[in-house]
Chain A
Amino acid sequence: MILSSHFNYWIVIVLMMIGFFIVISHGNLVKKLMGLSIFQTSVFILYISMGKVAGGTAPILDEAYSVYSNPLPHVLILTAIVVGIATTALGLALVVRINEAYGSIEEGDIEMQDCDKLDKENANK
């Protein structure tokens, strides 16, 4: 019983974790942002799943239907999607500037350059 009813949630969790894994393990800045958006999208799916009522229909009132899914999670997720795209846009803008400043969008390269600079500063001491 649990198996069938929770299958949905488990898939969501696996998706979430894939996204999360991409964010942490990948060095490429754009890829990280993609991972972040997968992570967020799967959270959205989790929310939307909560609102579903078996046999229900979209919450647009009509005399033909009596069972509707809960509109509240939908509203929350609309807001969250917008927040997500706002973050992605800002993140990408940062990536563009980082690429201009460092000539790379790989985490490793950037940290190496910063370390070199820090060493130089310390050497001047």
Chain B
Amino acid sequence: MSAHLPILQVILPLLAAPTCLLLGRTQLLWMFTCGVSALCAVISFQLLHTVHTSGDIIYSLGGWSAPVGIEYRIDSLNAFVLLLVTSLSTVVLCAAKQSIAKEVPESRQLYFYVAFLLCLAGLLGILCTGDAFNVFVFLEISSLSTYTLIALGRDRRALWASYQYLIMGTIGATFILIGIGLLYMITGTLNMRDLAQRLPDVEQAHTLYTGFAFFIVGVCLKLALFPLHLWLPNAYAYAPSIVTAFLAATATKVAVYVLIRFIFNVFGFDFSLSQFPLPQIWLALGIIGVFAASIVAMSQHNIKRLFAFSSVAQIGYIIMGLSLGTAAGVQAALLHVFNHALMKGAIFLAIAGLCYRLGAATMNEFKGLGKQMPWTMAAIVAGGLSLIGVPLTVGFISKWYLVLAFIEKGWWMIVPFIVIGSLLAVVYVWRLVECAYFQEADSKREAGEAPLSILLPTWILVFANIYFGVQPQFTVHATSIATLGLFGATP
């Protein structure tokens, strides 16, 4: 059975989704979904272990070996991201039951669980596959279910946000489709490994440049790289809180993975980063993104929106790491992918707890919360500290590696920008702290602590933040193997 793990990883949630329709009862649904997700996490852990001990796993679907058929290829890079996605989705789901019961009308809860599983399956499918067109198909599975999930939000603005995301997301997907089509046109293959072998022969082709450009722009739309991030803040702000936690922790991370995979394993490192001014563009966009988004975040009144903008800023850091084009830079980016997922997972889950008690999360509601919901607020503060990059948190680890990578490359000039960016984060986190701890609640509000089922997963993530901040061996080890794999494949 262990030989089938790569495919089980994807089809388990994929087949669980229609099974949900047969189950029908909400209580059962939640347990079932949690179970499936947990099983996926176990599988991905096993996969990572196998990859680390015995090398890449190749799985030919339908028994047709690539490039005639579609293959799954698990290496140290996607096994790492798989583990991240599955474990975070499990933790988030654990908290889902009560939050969803509160935020989504009874008749629609069934659809929440189905769409959630589909979205998870889509993301895992993107991660596992070694076929360019298959990426597009699973991208659309995850996108369509994401639109559904966002539209489940109570506010009518959730609908509008979902529609905007649908338009932007589809444009992005179509760009990716054009990119893949052009690559196919000049190589005749869709398999990534095969593409990588055949592309150097046509390196000078204009068609390749165009295909490359379309693909990158399409992925960057999905990634919400500044200035293509316009869909993200509203989508995060008005989706049900659990959905926000899930998306923030996973969806953009998978897009980062696609970017890394294609740049290093398909287009080839030399082609992507040396023939274009891409590193410069990325570096500039990354820095501007960090600053612009952080500054906008400061003036936000809606807390979910605030942290949504902060996500855009964090993506800026990730892209800055990638733009270096060195092993250290990529490792820093991967570390930040992992760590940012932990921070934002913790913060948005805590916010889900707030929304459960208070019905909304605006600055207004925050007044005096430090006393009324001490544990939830403490979680947000811990996440915020991690976001800033305070030592002993994961945020510090990834920023530290990022700074080191820049120094190693000799780009001293950039380091102050990273520091200032972190200071900006201090400002918006401080606003929250001030509101929650130093202001009195203005209304007579009886808000107790968030329910245990939400609080517990939140604190699991908070502890993960601290644990991987103090003991970063596991993440550093896994990312360094992944990075070595990337650079080893393209000498």
Direct A–B contact in the complex, CB atoms closer than 8 angstroms = yes
Would B178 and A43 count as touching, CB distance under 8 A? yes
Chain A residues with Cβ below 8 Å from B181 are: 43, 46-47, 50
Cβ B174 vs Cβ A43 within 8 A? yes
Which of chain A's residues have a CB closer than 8 A to the CB of B137?
79, 83
Q: How far is the CA of A71 from the CA of B302 in the complex (A)?
A: 52
Please give the number of chain A residues whose Cβ is less than 8 angstroms from any Cβ of chain B in the complex: 34
- CB within 8 A of A114: which of B157, B162, B190? B157
Q: Are A97 and B167 in contact (CB under 8 A)?
A: no
Q: In the assembly, what is the distance between CA of A81 and CA of B133, in Å?
A: 14
Q: Mark A79-102, 1 if CB is under 8 A from B, else 0.
A: 110010011001100110110011
Whether a CB of chain A sits under 8 angstroms from the CB of B364 is yes
Question: Given A79-B137, A94-B151, A125-B363, A87–B166 Cβ distance below 8 Å?
Answer: yes
**Contacts between the two chains (Cβ within 8 Å), count:** 78
CB pair A29–B163 under 8 Å, yes or no, is: yes
| Contact flags A13-53 to B (C-beta < 8 A → 1, else 0) | 00000001001000001001000100110010011001000
> Is A4 in contact with chain B by the CB < 8 A criterion?
no
Q: Within 8 Å of chain A (Cβ to Cβ): is B160? A: yes
Taking the complex as formed, is A122 at the interface, i.e. its CB lies under 8 A from any CB of chain B?
Answer: yes
Majority secondary structure, A binding face: helix
Contacts known (A36-B170, A50-B184, A122-B301); A90 close to B147, Cβ less than 8 A: yes
Q: Which residues of A contact B56 (CB under 8 A)?
A: none
Total chain B interface residues with beta-carbon distance under 8 A: 30
Q: Which residue of the partner chain B has the closest CB to A83?
A: B140
B159 within 8 A of A: yes
Secondary structure of the B contact surface, majority rule: helix
Fill in one digit per residue for A59-94: 1 if any B CB lies within 8 Å of its CB, else 0: 000000000000011001001100100110011001
Q: Is B60 an interface residue (CB 8 A)?
A: no
Within 8 Å CB of A39, what residues of B?
A: 171, 174
| Distance in angstroms between the alpha carbons of A90 and B163 in the assembled complex | 9
Contacts of A79 in B (CB 8 A): 133, 137
Residue in contact with A125 in the complex, picked from B159, B170, B185, B301, CB distance below 8 Å: B301
Residue of A nearest to B302 (CB): A121
**Whole-angstrom distance between the alpha carbons of A9 and B184 in the complex?**
15
CA distance A72 to B70 in the complex (A): 13
Q: How far is the CA of A60 from the CA of B160 in the complex (A)?
A: 46
Known: A50-B181, A50-B184. A87 touches B157 (CB 8 A): no
Task: Give 16 pairs: A residue, B residue, CB < 8 Å, sorted on A.
Answer: A23-B171, A32-B167, A39-B174, A43-B178, A46-B178, A72-B190, A76-B190, A83-B140, A87-B166, A90-B144, A90-B147, A94-B166, A97-B151, A101-B156, A122-B301, A125-B301
B interface, CB within 8 angstroms of A = 133, 136-137, 140, 144, 147-148, 151, 156-157, 159-160, 162-163, 166-167, 170-171, 174, 177-178, 181, 184-185, 190, 301-302, 362-364
Q: A20-B171, A114-B157 are in contact. List 11 more A-B contacts (CB 8 A).
A: A32-B167, A36-B174, A43-B181, A76-B133, A80-B136, A83-B136, A83-B137, A90-B148, A91-B163, A91-B166, A91-B170
Q: What residues of chain A have their CB less than 8 Å away from a CB belonging to chain B?
A: 20, 23, 29, 32, 36, 39-40, 43, 46-47, 50, 72-73, 76, 79-80, 83, 86-87, 90-91, 94-95, 97-98, 101-102, 110, 114, 117, 121-122, 124-125
